[in-house]
Amino acid sequence: MNQRSVTHATFTIERTYPAAPSRVFDAFADPQIKARWFGAPKEWEIGEVAIDFRVGGREVNSGGPKGGPVHYFDCRYQDIVPNERIIYAYDMHLDEIRISVSLTTIEFKPSGSGTRLVFTEQGAFLDGFDGADGREHGTRQLLDQLGAELARQAADA
């Protein structure tokens, strides 16, 4: 029998982007834009991806290195205030094993001509399969990719 455990942790990441809150919000809300920055490393195989961006809607995103394991993000949107905040609850799985359950709040705050994004995650990390340090590191990488996408949009404008 496996030893069961749960570790609770919260982390907050703040970033300032040189884009209006509406543009930063759209990078989360528009499935085509989100697909360009929210994803796995290029060498990973892509699995199921679907976004129903509305309160009560679901988002799934899966993939992993060739040969596995499959990483599976399964999210339910709890609250959406356009250009101001997004709150969602999600599970992460490795293959069939649930490794965490989290509540995430993303706030979009005007900052000069840009946006200060405040990303807060409250997680329950299960049975030693995952932890807050790794999750925070991965989230920082995703927010870097978001910044690159916003810069690319500005260059194309």
Residue 101 inside a domain? The answer is yes
Whether residue 11 is contained in a domain is answered as yes
Residue 41, pLDDT above cutoff 90 = no
Q: Distance between CA 155 and CA 157 in Å, rounded?
A: 6
Q: For 73-99, what is the mean pLDDT?
A: 97
User: What is the extent of the structural domain holding 101?
Assistant: 6-41+83-156
The pTM of this model reads 0.93
In a domain, 94, yes or no: yes
Whether 65 maps to a domain, the answer reads no
Mean pLDDT across 36-52? 87
Q: What is the pLDDT of residue 44?
A: 86
Residue 125 belongs to a domain = yes
Question: Is a pLDDT exceeding 80 seen at residue 157?
Answer: no
In the predicted structure, residue 95 carries a pLDDT above the cut 60: yes
> Please, where are the H alpha helices in the chain?
21-29, 31-37, 132-156
Residue 35 is part of a domain; what is its CATH number? 3.30.530.20
Query: In total, how many domains does the chain have?
Result: 1
**pLDDT in the model for residue 2:** 66
Does 74 or 157 have the greater pLDDT score? Answer: 74
